[in-house]
Structure 1
Amino acid sequence: MEATTTADDPASGPGNGYVHGYSGREARRLGDQAEALADLLHDGTSYPAGSRVLEVGCGVGAQTVQLLARSPGARLTAVEVSAASLEQARARVAASLPRARVDWRHGDLHDLPFPDGAFDHLFVCFVLEHLPDPRAALAGLRRVLRPGGTVTVIEGDHGSAFFHPDSAHARAAIAHLVALQAAAGGDALIGRRLAPLLSAAGYARVGVGPRTVYADGSRPALARAFTRDTFTAMVQAVRADAVAAGLATPADWNRGVADLHRTAAPDGTFHYTFFKGTAVNPAP
């Protein structure tokens, strides 16, 4: 999940599936990502006033701010397994939207502390990629979603990244990140699987579509915010783990990251695709 934890936080440490690490830098990257992609990812997502909405795995609150801004009248509950991240989310929302009201809950998405059918809508963003069994997680979430309620899921797919100038070192660094996430029990290529996952989890009226980011010299702000400060920063952050695992030498890794930075230059280009899915919880 999107989180920043401390050493005594139960969500921290190896084996929690969050390969990107739990640092202040990662929390800042998540905030930068949410702001840079807000219109792209949240277009079409707006919940009616009074509707009960659960954000599953709110992390440090980067997406929570966007949800609140677009659905100010909704009754939002945000749940997160990391207590430290939950506190950061609370502080982020208080700073950005001081009048917003959120029911903050510390809990695991596999064992949610809510009654059956407690929510009208679920929002799940950048969470499934870190889970060993995303289908089971989606199926389990149906319990707290009323019949006829909707789920919205957003995930990336690192296999959709291509760029100019092309670089074997950069492609290798991305592949090593994918491998590290798989070793941690996740799937950095999960975006392409959203439709079958939702269907297999028992949802109806499944619809999934791509949300593409493309940056070149005519979009310098996007190249800086996404290509450099979001995607490349994410790859750069796993350097120590990749080197320790024997996936790359320090020199090769540094070359790959430098080449990714090169794609954010005025004559570079970068492409990446997110996938956004919606579905309905059918009546029994």
Structure 2
Amino acid sequence: MRDDYVHGYSKREAIRLVDQAKTLSTLMHHDTVYSAGSLVLEAGCGVGAQTITLARNSPQAKITSLDISEPSLNHARALIKKEGLSNVDFQVGDIMNLPFEDETFDHVFICFVLEHLPDPVGALLSLKRVLKKGGSITVIEGDHGSCYFYPETEEAVKAWQCLIKVQTDLKCNPLMGREIYPLLTEAGFKNVKVDPRVVYVDSSKPKLVDGFIKKTIIAMVEGVKDQAIESDLIDLKTWEKGINDLHQSAEPSGTFFYNFFKGLATK
């Protein structure tokens, strides 16, 4: 487990991750389907937020979901059991030192993980080792530099920038989405293709207002409050107004825009 994981391992964060996954499942995973009998590695599964969709979309595939955090895996196991899914095995392991033989898996899936790793190319090379020749890798990342919202105030922008600065200070990359193509290419993958997955929200999309703006985005920003204030990135008064102003984007007169990126390549 990384003690410096920017979002932490709280129960609240686990709920946020699951809310995010449910809200974005169709947008992100409608085209992620693995054939019967395929061996799939989900690298960095965390609390199992994406695992549920993977298992549902490919009920005949055999999925191994790996994470470095045993508590997160316990949460993931409970989720999968609750959903009545039986095609997933969970295993503790480090992406940088995978406990598998060369060319074990037909497919690799990694979502919202590379941004938190100091050596993303090294991680991709490690994953490439356990991928069969001709097998596929799917990489999904967000890009915090792609965020726009209305109404936009100086305080709201400062609160959002705190998320970026806190993550950067931890030697993570909050702008990872835009780098998927060059990273996969540098790691030697072939047939690299990256598609933007745009999330645009206004009041005509109430499920996204609640699930994305409130439960995903604002909850994510609120999670770095203590780090931001303790690091003197922002003062409490500005922070509180910034968070309040971000909530205005979830009101009938507000809008929100964010870009995720989904990459697909082969070995």
TM tier relative to shorter chain: over 0.9
Instruction: Quote how far apart the aligned CAs of 1:12 are.
Output: 4.7
Deviation at 1:153, TM superposition (A): 0.3
CA distance in 2, matches of 1:157, 1:99: 31
Q: Is the 8 A contact 2:61 2:87 kept in 1?
A: no
Aligned to 2:207: 221
- What is residue 56 of structure 1 aligned with on the other side? 43
Aligned residue in 1 for 2:247: 261
Kept in 1: contact 2:60–2:87 (CA 8 A) = no
2:162 is aligned with 1:172 = no
Q: Does 1:34 align with 2:26?
A: no
Determine if the alignment matches structure 1 residue 247 to structure 2 residue 248.
Answer: no
Q: 2:148 aligns with which of 155, 159, 162?
A: 162
Matched-pair contact (CA < 8 Å) for 1:163–1:263: yes
C-alpha separation in 2, matches of 1:235 and 1:255: 13
Secondary structure of the residue that 1:211 maps to in structure 2? strand
After superposition, where does 1:77-226 map in structure 2 within 5 Å? 77-96=64-83, 98-226=84-212
| Alpha-carbon offset, residue 172 of structure 1 | 1.3
Taking the aligned partners of 1:21 and 1:250, their CA distance within structure 2 comes to: 21
Look up the SS of the partner of 1:185 in the other structure: coil
What residue ranges of structure 2 are gaps of 5+ in the alignment?
A: none
Note the alpha carbon deviations across 1:234-255, whole angstroms, 9 max, x for none.
0011101000000000111111
Structure-2 separation of matches of 1:168 and 1:238: 18
Letter in 2 for 1:75: K
Q: Does the Cα contact within 8 Å between 2:48 and 2:80 map onto a contact in 1? A: yes
The residue aligned with 2:11 is 24
Identity of aligned residues (%): 49
Q: Aligned-pair RMSD on alpha carbons?
A: 0.8
Alpha carbons of structure 1 residues 194 and 99: separation in structure 2 relative to 1, 3 Å: closer
Q: 1:13 — aligned with what?
A: 3
User: Could you tell me which amino acid in structure 1 is paired with residue 175 of structure 2?
Assistant: L
| Partner Cα distance (1:249, 1:22) in 2 | 25
Ranges in structure 1 where 5+ consecutive residues have no aligned partner: 1-10
SS of 1:38 mapped into structure 2: helix
Give distance in 2, aligned partners of 1:129 and 1:46. Answer: 24
What is the DSSP-based 3-state SS (H/G/I as helix, E as strand, rest coil) of the residue aligned with 1:62?
Answer: coil
| Consecutive aligned runs of 4 or more in structure 1 exceeding 2 Å deviation | none
Contact 1:220 1:266 in 2 (8 A): no
TM-score of the two chains, using structure 2 as the length reference:
0.98
